[in-house]
């Protein structure tokens, strides 16, 4: 990994690069696979929409409500989960979360009514609530702030990967398992995709450490390197070294920048989940293609998003700049969605515009949680991340449900694009209101 520095004292030596590279290879791939299945458990619903609606007699509004209700449980249990993190440690917390959401995913195979569907979606949100902030906190205690955009984006590659890989797999299960043992294909999808998180939870239990201090695979000198570099980052950000367990649950909410980040995260969630949950339907609308073909077309936007997220994060770290690397993607989402609505009769052009919108939305997702590590002390970081992610995640309810509601009540299948475009514009404006001195606190001049 290469950082930038103002002086030789900030440069990362070859030895440090080797240590952090080894840490990244040990930690990131496992967490990527875990989050890929976490995200797939949220969005596989989008691929099963038509057979589920036909089987359970749901409307688009009911489907959108169920998709969004995930975030009720997700929001309610974010902060409690962050406090459990302090009590039980990262390793146990993440492993328990994964096993819990796997078991709830199995229960989707017995859904028969709309209230059961909605109840399980809320329960799935409860089970997954602590995973994302736990991982963000974990990355913050392992990697310095100069690296955090690349590291976070590397982890969040799981989001487009879940669509690019999980989409075709989900569609294949729906097509080839439908009727096997007299079980509908959508139930097979939930059943088969619930197995990997259960197994991965056991892997996390055995392989992850709670932090650099507990990493037995590090030598004493290597451990000092990691702790010195990470603690130097905390110190530069004005952070205290108090452990997360001493934090008051509401302390972070007293900070104006946390409240502003909650608004930005809300807009990001509307864009992210609004597009992700409905993009198979949107693509089917503009291309008039079969379900099997749609599964293959889904590779295009999600694969594009993987490249865009990586390039945006690398550019952000190279220039040590955060605001415009979020604001610009927000603006791209707003513009491309309006153009996609206007060009919906143009087929492939509309697909390309939707692809750009999804890629830009996920670029914002990859950037937003690089800022709390710059402006929050370690004593409030875990709860701050939880508040930002939980209250911001209300957008995950508004986006999918709002799009479904607009489809039903306007009679225009793509009317919901304007809701997402508006929220993206608000997100861009709010992002540019972030103080430059805080978001670019790690700005540096010359390469090491």
Condensed to tens digits (0 to 9), the pLDDT of residues 81-131 reads: 777 777 777 888 888 888 988 888 888 888 777 788 888 888 888 888 888
Confidence band, pLDDT 50/70/90 cuts, at residue 379: low
d(CA 300, CA 367): 22
Which CATH code for domain 4-447?
1.20.1250.20
**pLDDT at res. 331:** 95
DSSP assignment letter at 130: T
- Residue 74 sits at the vertex; the CA angle it makes with 247 and 142, to the nearest 5 degrees, is 50
d(CA 249, CA 110): 37
d(CA 298, CA 164): 6
CB 265 within 8 A of CB 388: yes
d(CA 183, CA 263): 43
Per-residue b/e over 137-165, b at no fewer than 16 CB within 10 Å? bbbbbbbbbbbbbbbbbbbbbbbbbbbbb
Provide the CA 371 distance to its chain's centre, in angstroms: 15
Confidence band, pLDDT 50/70/90 cuts, at residue 259: confident
d(CA 61, CA 397): 12
Q: 10 Å Cβ neighbour count for 113? A: 11
Domain residue ranges in the chain: 4-447
d(CA 213, CA 194): 33
d(CA 59, CA 61): 5
Residue 392 pLDDT greater than 80, yes or no: yes
Q: Is 240 left (phi over 0), alpha (psi -120 to 50) or beta?
A: beta
d(CA 344, CA 338): 10
> Tokens 């799009």, residue?
403
- Report the chain's mean pLDDT, rounded to a whole number: 78
Confidence band, pLDDT 50/70/90 cuts, at residue 243: very low
Global pTM exceeds 0.95 = no
Condensed to tens digits (0 to 9), the pLDDT of residues 298-349 reads: 788 888 888 898 888 888 878 878 889 899 999 999 999 889 888 877 778 8
Most confident of 1-10, 68-77, 312-321, 331-340: 331-340
d(CA 252, CA 267): 20
């Amino acid at each position: 990994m290469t950082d930038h520095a103002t002086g030789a004292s900030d440069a990362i030596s070859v030895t440090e690069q080797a240590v952090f590279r080894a840490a990244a290879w040990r930690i990131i791939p496992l967490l990527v696979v875990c989050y890929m299945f976490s995200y797939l458990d949220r969005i596989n619903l989008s691929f099963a929409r038509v057979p589920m609606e036909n089987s359970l007699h749901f409307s688009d509004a009911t489907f959108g409500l169920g998709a969004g209700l995930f975030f009720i449980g997700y929001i309610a249990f974010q902060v409690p989960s962050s406090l459990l993190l302090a009590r039980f440690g990262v390793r146990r917390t993440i492993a328990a979360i994964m096993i819990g959401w796997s078991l709830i995913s199995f229960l989707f195979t017995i859904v028969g009514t709309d209230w059961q569907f909605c109840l399980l979606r809320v329960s799935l949100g409860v089970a997954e609530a602590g995973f994302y902030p736990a991982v963000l906190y974990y990355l913050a205690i392992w990697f310095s702030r100069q690296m955090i955009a690349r590291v976070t984006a590397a982890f969040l590659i799981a989001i487009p990967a879940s669509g690019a890989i999980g989409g075709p797999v989900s569609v294949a299960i729906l097509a080839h398992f439908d009727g096997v043992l007299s079980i509908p294909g959508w139930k097979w999808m939930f059943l088969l995709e619930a197995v990997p998180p259960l197994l991965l939870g056991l892997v996390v239990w055995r392989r992850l450490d709670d932090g650099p201090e507990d990493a037995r695979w590090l030598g004493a000198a290597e451990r000092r390197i990691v702790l010195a570099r990470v603690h130097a980052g905390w110190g530069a950000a004005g952070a205290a070294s108090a452990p997360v367990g001493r934090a008051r649950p509401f302390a972070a909410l007293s900070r104006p920048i946390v409240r502003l980040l909650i608004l930005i995260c809300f807009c990001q969630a509307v864009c992210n989940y609004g597009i992700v949950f409905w993009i198979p339907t949107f693509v089917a609308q503009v291309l008039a293609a079969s379900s099997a073909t749609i599964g293959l077309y889904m590779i295009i936007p999600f694969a594009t998003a993987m490249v865009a997220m990586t390039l945006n994060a690398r550019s952000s770290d190279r220039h040590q700049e955060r605001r415009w690397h979020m604001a610009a993607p927000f603006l791209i989402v707003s513009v491309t969605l309006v153009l996609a609505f206007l060009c919906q009769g143009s087929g492939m052009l509309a697909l390309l515009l939707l692809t750009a919108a999804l890629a830009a939305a996920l670029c914002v997702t990859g950037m937003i949680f690089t800022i709390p590590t710059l402006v929050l002390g370690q004593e409030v970081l875990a709860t701050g991340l939880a508040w930002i992610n939980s209250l911001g995640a209300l957008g995950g309810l508004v986006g999918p449900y709002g799009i479904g509601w607009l489809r039903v009540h306007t009679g225009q299948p793509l009317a919901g694009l304007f809701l997402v475009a508006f929220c993206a514009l608000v997100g861009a404006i709010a992002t540019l209101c972030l103080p430059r001195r805080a978001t670019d606190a790690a700005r540096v001049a010359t390469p090491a």
